[in-house]
Amino acid sequence: MSDAIRQLAPQALWNHFADLNAVPRPSKKEERVVAFIRHFGESLGLDTRVDAAGNVLIRKPASPGMENRPVVVLQSHLDMVHQKNADSGFDFDKEGIDMYVDGDWVRARGTTLGADNGIGVASIMALLAGNDIAHPPLEALFTIDEETGMTGALSLQPGFLHGRYLLNLDTEDDRELTIGCAGGVDVTATGAYAAEPVPADCQGFRLSVRGLTGGHSGMDIHLGRGNANKIMNRLLAQAAEQFGLRVGTVDGGGLRNAIPRESFAEVGVPADQAIEFQKFMENEAAALEAEYASTDPNLEIGLEGIERPSVVLPAAFQSQLLRAIYACPNGIHRMSPDIADLVQSSNNLARILVKDGQWTALCLTRSSVDSEKYDLARAIQSAFELAGAVVKASGGYPGWAPKPEASIVQLMRTVYEKRFGDAPHVNACHAGLECGIIGAHYPDMEMISFGPNIRGAHSPDECVQISSVQKFWGYLVEVLGKVG
């Protein structure tokens, strides 16, 4: 990691971010980062506790003269999305993130950066450790497993927090004050098949879909970026109809909350059709690259000859499965009729794995309307049940209803306008934020979410803008001094 990161301003924040990024912190494996944050709080002599789920709460008394002001909860999540390029040998379980400065941006080499939500965590750490920032009584809440189920927030118990206001530091545009968000539910389809020997006259090929832009499956779903699983399925289904292609394996995508960037398949094609199949792939690659030229300029469709797969899917089942994946909704399902330019409901077909007689499809379905969310989940369930799948919905979490009249919203709007000479964009977002869940536990707490400019979250292109972090930090400090 470049020492240049530690020299950036505000230096305390960036040093805490560097320390945090040296600690592996994948979702559902947060033991090391929980211990790190717990030690941090205890080393400052602050009241530090860890609940049964692993959420960490650190309390800091108010600055002199501010003792009678309402308690403010500062909240960020400890886990980060672990995504890397296919050619990267990086080991998330053992290595710290390899960061570098690129002009006005901080990036990572070949992996996600962890600015989501590490910049929020580091900001709170800087406030807890600092002695020269005026603030009311603070409760610093560091939650776990936000990225793959929000189980930390779901596990919060009444009475753990005492704050009147909650500042969630998990928004990715410094012009935005987020006051509402979508809920979500995980949809998982699984099935089995009796693999059969590949026909003797088949020639083996490996198909690849690479170079897609990817991104956050909530915040970026409206951008129309390519989904590697849908593109791969399109190629397989058409080639199966035209050339008798037989599928051996498919391995595409990864985490539910990341738009899949890559997919790979091993197939067999009748030898007498191999040349025509290769021409077909060349034409389809050109067509797809043209279709996605604006959103995914680095898309690459690859084809190489390999030893033919030893076993393939039965022909009838292969047709069922490819049709089910074709039918599975992906992308925007409905735009909000009430809030301009807001996606109301969507689905991300995040993962397809077909191998060794078993297959799995993973989706993340989002909506700001719970009834519509579950209706879309049932549509996905129906598509996969036609292929004989067992389909389960799990990990559902509620959305966060906007309250634009809340006093914390009015304060932060006023401070923003005076500080920057412009009005902030007060909005709701299509991502899942923990505010909806926390609000269910603490219905009287006023909440708002904001943060610096982060781009490419949930992908190896993730980066955070240095000047925006400086803007965000100054704004956060001023707000804390004025909360009353």
Task: Please tell me the distance from the alpha carbon of residue 189 to that of residue 383, in angstroms, as a whole number.
Answer: 10
Q: Which amino acid is at 328?
A: C
Q: In Å, what is the CA distance from 20 to each residue of 4, 36, 121?
A: 16, 8, 8
- How far apart are alpha carbons 321 and 319 in whole angstroms? 6
Residue the block writes with tokens 């966060």? 400
Check: CB of residue 323 under 8 Å from CB of residue 388: no
Q: Which residues are marked as active site?
A: 79, 146
d(CA 425, CA 283): 44
- 3-state SS, one letter per residue, for 191-255: EECCCEECCCCEEEEEEEEECCCCCECCCCHHHCCCCHHHHHHHHHHHHHHHHCCEEEEEEEECC
Sign for the pseudo-dihedral over CA of 102, 416, 427, 472? positive
DSSP string, 253-298: E--TTB----EEEEEEEEGGGHHHHHHHHHHHHHHHHHHTTTT-TT
358/189 Cα distance (integer angstroms): 11
Beta partners for residue 106, in sequence order: 101, 464
- Give the residues across from 327 on adjacent strands: none
Phi, psi (degrees; rounded to nearest 5) at 356:
55, 40
Residue for token pair 């292929």? 387
Query: Looking at the DSSP assignment, which residues form a beta bridge with residue 205?
Result: 267, 305
Q: Please tell me the distance from the alpha carbon of residue 225 to that of residue 261, in angstroms, as a whole number.
A: 9
Residue type, 359: W
Interatomic CA distance for residues 251 and 232, integer angstroms: 10
| Cβ atoms of residues 61 and 67 within 8 Å | yes
Give the span between the Cα atoms of 334 and 350, in whole angstroms.
19
Strand 202-210 with 165-168, pairing: unpaired
Name the burial class of residue 304, with classes exposed (0-12), middle (13-18) and buried (19+) by CB atoms within 10 angstroms of its CB.
exposed
